[in-house]
Every structure is written in structure tokens, then in C-alpha cells.
Amino acid sequence: MKALVKSNSNSRIESNRIDCTTYRYLCIGGATTATPLQHHCNMPAPTPKMTAVTKLKIFSNLLTQAESLKEKGNKLFSSKDYIASHNNYSHALHITTQLNAHCDNDPLLLSSQRILFVSLIGNNALVLYKLGRYSEMQANCNSILSQASIYDGYDLTKIWYRRALAREALGQNEEAKIDLEHCMRSFGDKDEARLNKGRNDTLLALERVNNRLKRQFEKDNAGTCPSSASQRHIISTLLSQASVPRTGEAFYLLDFDWWRLWCNHVNFHAIDDDMKLKLNIIIPDKKENADTEEDDRSSSEEESDDDSYCDGYGRRPGAINNRRLLISSSNPQASDFFFQEWRPQQSATMLIPQLVRGHHFEILPRDAYAALKSWYGEICANTTICRRAMLMDKHGRPKVFLYPNAQRSIESRNNMGVVYDQSSGRVGLNNLGNTCFMNSALQCLSHATPLTRYFLTSHYKKDINVSNPLGTGGKLAAAYDTMVRSLWMGNSRQYNISPRALKRAIALFAPRFAGTSQHDSQEFLAFLLDGLHEDLNRVRNPPYIEKADVNHEHDLNVAGAEAWDAHCKRNQSIVHDTFYGQFKSTCICPNCKQISVSFDAFNHVSLEIPQLSSFGRIIPIIMFSANSHSVPPTRYGIVVSKNAHLSDVKLQLSRLSGVPIERLSICDIYQSKIYEIISDSKNVSDLNKDDTVMAYEIDPYTPSTMHVVATQFKQGVPDDKSSIGYPLLTSFSIDLSCRQVKEHMMNRLSYLPLSNDSLVKIRIVDNNGAQLEVFENSSSIIPNSDEKLASFLKEDCAESFLFAAIEWSDSSHMLNDNLEFIDHSSLVEAVKKHRAMLNRTLTLDQCLDNFTRPERLDEDNKWYCTKCKYHVRAEKTMKLWRLPNVLVIHFKRFEFRNAMRREKLDSLVEYPLEGLNMNKYCASSSFAGHAENGEVNANQETFVVNDIPATYDLFGCVNHYGRMGFGHYNAYARRWNEYHMEDDWRLFDDSSVRDGITETDVVSNSGYLLFYRRRVFA
């Protein structure tokens, strides 16, 4: 057996051989026998194995025969006897095909058969090339390339290259190009002499094919294209005829870069504005330089020396090329082997998920597309992407669904795929001293199927990035690999393993995890995901990309897609594909009202558990209106967030009462006096819960107004301590006479059930309540004089406050608590809300609602306003913009009180095990578009639906018990794949694994980290 392997060890393929053991476990499923390697090494086996040994002998003989035929063929090839060489190869191939029957499904034998087969096909292709039998040559290569999944892990670069040569010779330049591009990618950036030779050959071939394609294209299009002006006219006419989509009408997707190029080329911006409004079309910005973008595209048809095509405007676009929008072998962005299995199946035209109109594509009605196609051609017939308008809208308007199958698969969730070995994953992790925080996170992460499958199939080896200074040189990935293998493919008698190597590796990346102290499970997970991502980052030389400044004038869908593209230029890994999503945060400057939007990637969502206080504060306010003279004061219930300012309170009160914000004065009332006129910048949290807050409608402060603070007293000599009831704040013109001032004050109190002599007198006092003897006869009482009040007062009274004392003979009717206030509906609402807060059950939905609610940043967290040039307490709104395939949700149970103290919130938050609908929290989704008016481009909202449903199921949950820093972590997890979620929840508690967990166990007030998987991968 060893000899068999050795005979091929000179082949490069050997080193890339797939891990056969893995292969068996993943493909056959349920196989419980130990790895077969030992059996063959320890021959001779006992009698029952005799047949196997016999088979092995036959296999060995046939293999030797085929090998020697191959050698013969090689020699004949060298001596240029191609026909004889071909005969030998054919014979060898025939024998090799027979070998299959003798492999007995043994992975090692299968592997040696395949290695030989691949090398024979390669050699035979070359000899067929020499013989000029190109069709045969292509078919020959197809026998391997059409079964790519079987040969996954083998180096097929030569086969791809030779098929390209065959196709080129057959005039299939387009197909040849795809093969050559495939070769280029498989070279990667390894620097080896032998590889460089192959790379050079491939590059030369690519250039040949490209030139030929270009010439062909020029020939095909010579003289067929109308002038720019008539193209403009024809297309705009065709678009206007179909600007209101009809049900059943066909629409065609068009690569947006191509569309931009065309718009520049024919100067489509020149069509008149009336026409533009009529068309349901996105016309790209004129300024943008399409040439630089085009250069990045591997499939670009143009060369920079294409000046001859210029028509006075931009460069002439080549053939329509939609390949970038499709999932195919030539599109590395989406060729991940298993992701496709989760994705909606759409046969030939399978679109890349989450395409954005105006960034990736534009959509045209049939006739307009047909016109463009007839003028420019199409790069490849199977890149035509057609979608029909369907009557799906609730308003009866037709819509075009980009992913029609995805919409349906909410119900079916039926996709192809492999099944895990049923007995695996049931292995505990030893506690290495306070490492339950790590073990619980690892157990959940190990149930994230895409990641685990990626390691178990050894795919990680080809991505491992040892040169990334942000990673651990692959050590973390290797340690994680070892652990995942032990968990899923280890000896079935092993009940627990030690994650020591992984712990050491993570400490390389994040030294804080080196010791034996307790850590936060969430922090650990975030570091682990980050570290794995860096170790597996497929981007070798990340470009520097400046973060774009986005404001409300941008199309947010496009801005979001651009930000994601920019992020992906630096970050591409399995971790990224699986766990990363995108936030949109909007900041509004309180001073200049500038709105700034930014997009950031995330690998988990941290949610606050809403507490009574964080739901906001309810402030009852008694409001004295200036106009409604006979109407009693009104009580309002103002609800603001806990860190709101008084200006926020004013804003709400203004909205509720209709009184302009600048006419509102809000006062803190203490012992029947105005204790303070509260400044706008005061924080609501500084208000005492028992304070009485009153609002007065007054004139804004100007030199020609006078403001009076009036306190009430029982008849007698007023002093500072004997005030009763509620004080009054009012304003009037400085020109009023003493009599008019008295009338004004009486008017303010006219809703009181007064008898004529209830009110005794109104005195002028100082701010301590002492009488000011400013009138005739040293009186402090305002006389019934027609002289201006101001004329009695010293000048300094004019611009500041005047203090007055109102004396009552009958205090039972004065302005106090006994008064019948009017209760505004907001007060009733607020009381209801308060009651609901006290006895509610929290749900995950409420936490998510709370997360996406606008919030004013606190002092420690200010935002820099680029317009005001300083840090401000902006109003910030977070939204989920792009959702990951595995969503990690973290509850902030450890509330940070101060540097010394963190408190744990034990509230129960109910979370769904199945069917968490995230669409409504995703701001970019068309479903959410209704909630966020104006955020989504109107055309897109009503016309193209590009959503993939965001329904999630829970597969893991890390629990925390006890106090912060001293508590204990464990985890619930269940297995899943493309078909379904298993129902057998298990409890992973360090080294112990327990079955028999019910669904009700999984949802508890210990839930700390939640792991959700998306039903249809995006």
C-alpha cells in the first residue's frame, strides 16, 4: 500500500490530496468505522478481509499496468510519435477507468486512481493538441472538469489550461477566456519558478484570446451602431414607453459599470429634464471616471488604446457584460463551495446575492435592452438576465423580484447538501482554570456549520494567511482546526478534550486571555472571530481605502454597497462571509443639523436590555398658556430618553401644545416658588424625580418686554417663607400702565373661581420677597394708575425679572393643587406606558427596537461635527443595513455603572428559537422601506425587490450564571445543515455534555450570547 502511494509521490497532486478521512465523514455520513489507513498498513489481514486483499492485489496490478503504459506514452511523445503516444495513453486511461471498480470506496485507493487519471488526461490532451484533434481534446478535459466536486483538492490547473487551448483552437474564445482566468486564480501569488512559467504561458494565451475577441467584436459591430444622438433618442423613447411596468413584462439586468460607460459615451445626461423625470431609470453621475473602474475588471474587453472608439464623449463600451452579476466559476466572489447550497437555486442565471440597483446593476425593459444588445452585442449568451414583473404589491403595482425563488424558499427551505455524521460533536471541553467563558463560546461556534465544515474539509489550508501582520501567522487557525477535528471527527470514545493549544494561540493574538482569570465570553468570541478572520484573510495586499463621507444627498443603497465593496477589498474570509454584516449609523448635529451617515462592518450585535430608566423618563409638566385666558393649565406627559436635554423636553412640549419652542420657559418649582428657570442644556437626569416642573408661555426676552415672577400669599405681610400654591411667570410690554399690568395678571388667573374681592393686592418685591417701596407714599402695592409701571421702576428692572407677590383674602380659590387641571392625552399615554414598563415581559424584538431608536450621545461619547468643527452630543441612530448568514446577538447584561462597579441585569428576555424575522430591523430591506420613509430610493422601493428573506433560527446560546467576574458560563447548542435544524439540544458545560434539553430550557434569564443562522444564505 505504501508503495502505491510512493509511486506517485513525485506528482505535485499528491501534496494537495484531500483529507480522505474527512471526505468520508462528510460525504458518507453516519460512517462510524475508524479510519481505514491502519488496516492496510498491517497486512496480512484475517480471513474475512481476504476479499479486500485480493481486490487490492488486482488494483495494484492494474495500476502498475496503467503506469507503465503512461511511461511508454511519455517516451513516444518525446520522440514525437504522437499517434502511438495517444494510443498508449488511451489504453492507460481505459485501465484507469476500470480501477474504480476495485477501489471498494477506499479513499486512499480512490485517491491514487484519481491522481493517475488526472495526469493521464493532461498528457492525453497535450498529444491530442499536437494531433489537431481539438474537439476530442476538449471532451477529454471535460471528463474531469465537469466533475469538479470529485476532484476538489486536486491541482487541475493544467487541465484547465489545456481545455482553454482546445477551446481557443476551436474558436471558442469566450469560453477559453473563462478557463484561462480560472487558471490565473489557481496560481495565487505563490512565487515558484515552475508556477511562474505556467503563469506566463497563461498570460500570453489570455492576451491572444482577448485580442481575438476584440477583433471579432470590431468586425461584428462595424457600422451597425447609430450615432450617439440617435441612440439617446431611441433608448429614451423606449424607456418612456415602458416607464410604468406592466405585469408579465420582461426586464433585463444590465451591469451598472457598463450602463455608466454607455451613458457617458452617448452623453445620455443630455436628454431633457422633463424626459428624465418620466423615465424609471438611474442615470449615473456624469463626473465619475468610468475608465479607472473599468481597469479593475478582469473581464474588461477594452484596452487603454481604444481611442478610435471615442465619439466626443466617453469611451465606447464593449459588448454588454453581465458576468459580474452572476455566480459562476469565473466569479471568485461567490464561488464558495458550500454557500451555494444555501442559496436559492436559479439554474443558469444565478445572481450574486444582495445586488443593489444603481451600484451593481440597472434594469431595463425588453426593447431598450434589445436595442443596446443589437448595437453592442453581448459578451456571452448565457449572461442575459431576465426577470418578469409580477403583481405582488399590496397596492396592486407590479414588482420585479430579483430573487423570486428566495421569496418562496421561506417555506420550503429545501436545499441540496451533505449531512453531518450523526454521532459527532458530542464532546466536552476541559476547564483549564476559569475557562468556561471560552468553552461555552467555542461550543456554540463549533456548531456554526459553514465554518466547521470549512475546517473539516481542509479548505482552510488554501486560504491560510501566514504573512498577515494582523493575524497569528496561521497558528490560531491551525489550533482551531485541531480542536474542531477533535470535536467532530475524534475518537468516539473520547468524551472531552483540552483546548489548551487554542488558548495559547488566542493569547498570541490577544494577550489578555493568557492568564487563568475569568473573562467575558462575548469579548473572547469577538477576538476569536477577528483572529480567525485575519489568519484566513484571502486578501494578501490590502489596499488603503479612505472611508467615504456620506450625507443625505447620496443614494444610501448605493453608498452602503460601495462601503461594503470597499470593506471587502480588505477583508475576505470564511469568517467574513459567514459572520459579518453592516451597520448604518446616522448622526445629526444638534447645532447645525448636519446629517452624516456611515457604514461599518460588525460581527455581532450588542443589545442593551431596556430597563425602566432606559426606556426613557416620563416628566409630567403643567403648562400655563398665554392665550387661553379662561382655560385652566394643562398637564402633559413628556417621554424622553434618559440622557435627553431640556431642549428635547421643550421640543416635545412644543409639538404637543403648539406653542413655539422660543416662547416656552420651563421652571423647577420648589416650596411654591420658582426655584430655577431650567436651561436648555440641562440634562433630564439632573431633574429630581419629586420636583414639580411647570412650563409657562412667555414672550421671548427683549428690551421692550417685562417678565414677572409672581408668588402667592395669604393676606398679610408677605415674606420669603409664607408663599403658597403655584407661582406664575408672565410677560407683557414695557409700555403697559400700572392698571393694565394688574388687568394682565388678573387675566392670567381668570379661570379661577374668584369672587371680586378674593384678590387683595399685587405688590412688587425683590427676589428675596422683601417689599420694594417704589410707588407713591413708599408703597409696594401696584396702584390703579395710568402711568407706565416702568416709570416707577429703576432701569435695571426692565431687562431682567420683576418679582411680584399676589395676596389673597380667600386662599381656597387660589392657584394650587386643588385646581381642576386639563389632562392632555399625552399624560394618559405616559401613565399607561409607565404601567406597562413595570410589569412587562421583555422580548428580543423590544431590545432590537430599542437598539434602532435614536439616541443622544452622552458626554463621554461625543461625535465630531465636520461643519461645526467640534465635538457635539449628536443624535445617533443605528440601523442594521446588511445582515450576516450567522448572526451573533449579545445582551449587555453587565451594565457599566462606574469604574468600580458593574451590575448584572437578570431580566428575562424572550427570544425565538425559530423564525426570528430580521427584515424589519434591516434598513436597506425593501420590506423595511415603508417604515423609513424617504430613506429608500422611490424607484427601487416601488419597482425592484432585491431582498433575500432574513429569517433566522437559533442554534446556540451561551448562558451566564451568577455575578460578573465570578459567575459560570455554559452553552446550549444544536446541529444543523441546509436541510433542517436538529431538535436535539445539548447542554455543554465544560467537560460534560448532556442531552434531553427541552426548548423551554434554552430560553432563560441567563441567555447571554445568541447564535442564529439565516435560512436562506445571502
Binding region for Zn ion (CB under 5 A): 589, 591-592, 594, 865, 867-868
Residue appearing with cell numbers 424607484? 939
H or E stretch at 256:
helix 256-265
Sheet containing strand 581-588, edge to edge, reads 595-602, 581-588, 875-882, 855-856
* 593 or 963: CB nearest Zn ion: 593
What is the grid cell recorded at 857? 450621545
End-to-end CA distance of the chain: 45
What is the grid cell recorded at 704? 421692550
How far is 338 from 262, CA to CA, in rounded Å?
A: 36
Q: Give me the amino acid identity at 729.
A: L
* 6 or 867: CB nearest Zn ion: 867
Virtual torsion, Cα 374, 375, 376, 377, nearest 10 deg = 20
H or E stretch at 557:
helix 556-570
To Zn ion, the closest distance from the beta carbon of 591 in angstroms equals: 5
To Zn ion, the closest distance from the beta carbon of 551 in angstroms equals: 12
Contact 373, 320 (CB under 8 A): yes
To Zn ion, the closest distance from the beta carbon of 655 in angstroms equals: 23
CA angle 904, 605, 448 (to 5 degrees): 105
How far is 948 from 405, CA to CA, in rounded Å?
A: 9
Closest CA to 527 of 509, 508, 515: 509
* 105 or 861: CB nearest Zn ion: 861
* 680 or 982: CB nearest Zn ion: 680
How far is 25 from 420, CA to CA, in rounded Å?
A: 7
To Zn ion, the closest distance from the beta carbon of 26 in angstroms equals: 56
For the question of residue 922 being annotated catalytic, the response is: no
Distances (CA, A) of 152 to 188, 195, 337, 459: 16, 20, 10, 10
Pairing of strands 705-714, 801-808: parallel
Bridge partners of residue 823, in order along the sequence: 635
To Zn ion, the closest distance from the beta carbon of 686 in angstroms equals: 24
Virtual torsion, Cα 932, 933, 936, 942, nearest 10 deg = 120
Return the number of other C-beta atoms located less than 10 Å from residue 597's C-beta: 22
> 43-70 burial string, b = 16+ CB within 10 Å, else e?
eeeeeeeeebeebbeebbebbeebbebb
What is the grid cell recorded at 577? 462571509
Contact 784, 738 (CB under 8 A): yes
To Zn ion, the closest distance from the beta carbon of 593 in angstroms equals: 7
Closest residue to Zn ion: CB criterion: 589
* Helix pair 475-489, 436-446: axis angle to 10 deg: 70
To Zn ion, the closest distance from the beta carbon of 683 in angstroms equals: 20
Burial, 729: exposed, middle or buried (Cβ in 10 Å; 0-12, 13-18, 19+)? buried
Contact 301, 319 (CB under 8 A): yes
* 281 or 865: CB nearest Zn ion: 865
What is the grid cell recorded at 9? 509521490
How far is 815 from 725, CA to CA, in rounded Å?
A: 6
To Zn ion, the closest distance from the beta carbon of 596 in angstroms equals: 9
* 320 or 865: CB nearest Zn ion: 865
Contact 952, 916 (CB under 8 A): yes
For the question of residue 968 being annotated catalytic, the response is: yes
Virtual torsion, Cα 48, 52, 55, 57, nearest 10 deg = -100
Pairing of strands 386-391, 398-401: antiparallel
How far is 637 from 828, CA to CA, in rounded Å?
A: 7
What is the grid cell recorded at 521? 465570553
Closest CA to 532 of 496, 571, 583: 571
The one catalytic residue among 380, 436, 589, 957: 436
Closest CA to 535 of 424, 598, 454, 421: 454
To Zn ion, the closest distance from the beta carbon of 548 in angstroms equals: 19
* 590 or 725: CB nearest Zn ion: 590
Q: Which residues belong to the active site? A: 436, 968
